[in-house]
Amino acid sequence: MFEFRVTAECSRTGARAGEFITPHGVIRTPVFMPVGTLATVKAMSPRELDEINAQIILGNTYHLYLRPGAEVISAAGGLHEFMNWHKPILTDSGGFQVFSLAKLQKITDEKVICRSHIDGSLLEMSPEWSMHMQGVLGSDIAMCFDECCEFPATHEKAEQAVKRTTLWAKRSREYFYAHNDTNRQALFGIVQGSVYDDLRRRSAEEITGLDFPGYAVGGLSVGESHEAMYHSLDVLNDIMPKNKPRYLMGVGYPLNIVEGIARGIDMFDCVLPTRNGRNATVFTSSGRLNMRGAGYAGDFSPLDSECDCYTCRNFTRAYLRHLAVTGEILGARLFSWHNLRFTIRIAEQAREAIIAGKFPEFLEHFTQNFHDEHNGNEA
């Protein structure tokens, strides 16, 4: 039920256009995947996600394990049925949340012992736990349990995370192929190594040696510079298999997406579009805007004249600024709607450019026109 094929490739960069066939549909890459942490993409209904052409969304294993719990989702028939989303779903392993949210008590090669960030209850998590839980969720793509270390990390700390990530990938793979439905779910391996070239190469060689259907790059977008991220991707570009999808975890900043695509990345995810939307910050073709700025109070132009989303086709900056400063719920929804569509559209435009043989021109145009600044006067 799973097949990935590269349909076009840029001869001057590592950019690829591809198709990944899953039980719930074909994912056309490059693709940005909205994050639905708690079985919902914040402020968006499944119908609205379909309208903005979201091809695949994410669910979070750790959060869904805590609420509503495996029993409820299993009784509902899996995550697709529970949230009424019938396109592909990817679930993360829960590992990142263990290290970023939960109060870590102890970590060994065997398991992680931590306390819930909700009620402080004691939790024990392992590769086997993660594979079982993702099997219950019934996602199309499951992720290996891994150790993501903080940034900055010493070489010694990052090396320990690489060793444990490989160990846990082997255990994840063994449990997955013994217990999960491999006709309905694919398991991706994760490459770690922080910003150390030798560790990135080592991790990539070890993880790709286990022959997963796809591979993710973890441990980036955690505080390192854009240049350090791009360098790590350059290091990996020639090591990662050409015939498998590549997923850059937790990256959704527009410039990072286009630069990632230029380095052979096929899949991206991030909470940034909706998180920024709830805070009245939006991405546009010219850069980032803070819509609380007083300069927009009398601006009756669309948010982004080049965007095809519902927000840009129907509302002015003046109205949207009014929603922002008055704290209206509709503002958070419309900003999130736009940000998600804008980010999804970046991947769509990159794909079109790759197929047309014009990706370098697209890359140059985007990077020259997208400015990382808040326009308009601050309120």
Q: Which of 50, 92, 234, 372 is catalytic?
A: 92
Tell me, yes or no, if the pTM score tops 0.75. yes
pLDDT for res 76 = 98
Task: Share the mean pLDDT of the chain.
Answer: 95
* Given 140, 266, 269, 304, the catalytic residue: 269
- 269: annotated active-site residue: yes
Category of 39 on φ-ψ map: left (φ > 0), alpha (ψ -120 to 50) or beta: left
pLDDT of amino acid 365: 98
The yes-or-no verdict on residue 258 having pLDDT over 90 is yes
Q: Summarize pLDDT for 299-330 with one digit per residue, the tens.
A: 999 999 999 999 999 999 999 999 999 999 99
C-alpha 99/C-alpha 218 separation (Å) is 13
User: What is the per-residue pLDDT across 282-293, written as a single tens digit (0 to 9) for each?
Assistant: 999 999 999 999
Across-strand partners of 302?
Answer: 316
Kindly list the distances between the CA atom of residue 241 and the CA atoms of 5, 45, 160, 168, 192, in Å, as whole numbers in the listed order.
Answer: 12, 36, 24, 21, 16
> Cα(43)–Cα(30) distance, rounded to whole angstroms?
24
Share of the chain above pLDDT 70, in %: 98
Is pLDDT above 90 for 97?
Answer: no
> DSSP letter at 296?
G
Of the candidates 57, 126, 72, which has an alpha carbon nearest to the alpha carbon of residue 98?
A: 126
Establish whether 372 is a catalytic residue. Answer: no
Give residue 373's pLDDT. 58
